Amino acid sequence: MKIILPFNDIEKYPLTQRFGERFLYGGKMCEHAGIDYAMPRYTRIIAPFNGEIIRITPERTTGYGKAVYIKARESEDRRIAAIMAHLDDISVQVGYKVKRGDFLGSSGNSGFWRGVNGYHIHFGISINGKYIDPMPLLKKEYEQRATLFNQDDSSIKSFLGMHTIEEGESLWTIAQKYYQNGGHFMEIYKANEDIIKNMNLIYPGQVIRIPALKNLGI
Ligand SMILES: [Zn+2]
């Protein structure tokens, strides 16, 4: 059964959290049950394999926000399912049959955990109800392109993308825009120290990097 990442242009989006990484949620240590890729809002999210939509959650029911659950059609004796979470909007309904690569919705940052990593997709795969690391499954499919999967720490790309400063913006408002939290202005400054000499002086037209924050996991 062929499984792909639930988005195109896989080399464009940095892996921001791996499977099994530990994070604090509601005072409890949790283990990350999927993999996260930072990406701009409204990126096309596609079906990772041929299957059927089995569940959709609205924005604020779970930490995963608007999420689509899909069950594989060709999973033989194993029950294989996947979750694509924190979406902005969803274009399918429960019961829809989809093919690998079909459009499911757009990426966002919905859910109780929003604003921690900024816009990203959470992708989880479960076999017989237990979440497993999707990487090895994907790697097999993309053998020659394995390097694109950022397996080594050193190869993790740490930027969401670039931003062109507009009139009236400050690092605070830019942090607010990308992370829903102006308090992350310092991370933006640190990622651009070669460009921004004084954090209170930024200019319209300047192009700066927007770092992918990988502190707490979603
Ligand atoms: Zn996640």
- Centroid of ligand 1 to alpha carbon of 162 (angstroms): 23
CB contact at 8 A, 117 and 217? yes
Higher pLDDT, 165 or 63: 165
CA atoms within 13 A on the CB side of 137: 22
Paired with 23 in beta bridges are: 30
Q: Average pLDDT in the 130-153 region?
A: 64
Location of structure tokens 């050193």:
154
At 175, list the tokens: 């942090």
- Centroid of ligand 1 to alpha carbon of 32 (angstroms): 6
At 28, list the tokens: 């409890």
Paired with 122 in beta bridges are: 36, 85
- In this prediction, residue 178 carries a pLDDT of 79
| pLDDT 10s digits, 78-97 | 899 999 999 999 999 999 99
- Centroid of ligand 1 to alpha carbon of 26 (angstroms): 15
Ordered structural domains, the chain, with CATH: 10-148 (2.70.70.10), 159-211 (3.10.350.10)
- Centroid of ligand 1 to alpha carbon of 117 (angstroms): 9
Q: What is the DSSP letter of 75?
A: -
| pLDDT 10s digits, 170-216 | 999 998 887 778 888 998 898 888 889 898 889 998 888 887 775 43
Q: Which of 40-44, 107-111, 127-131 has the lowest mean pLDDT?
A: 107-111
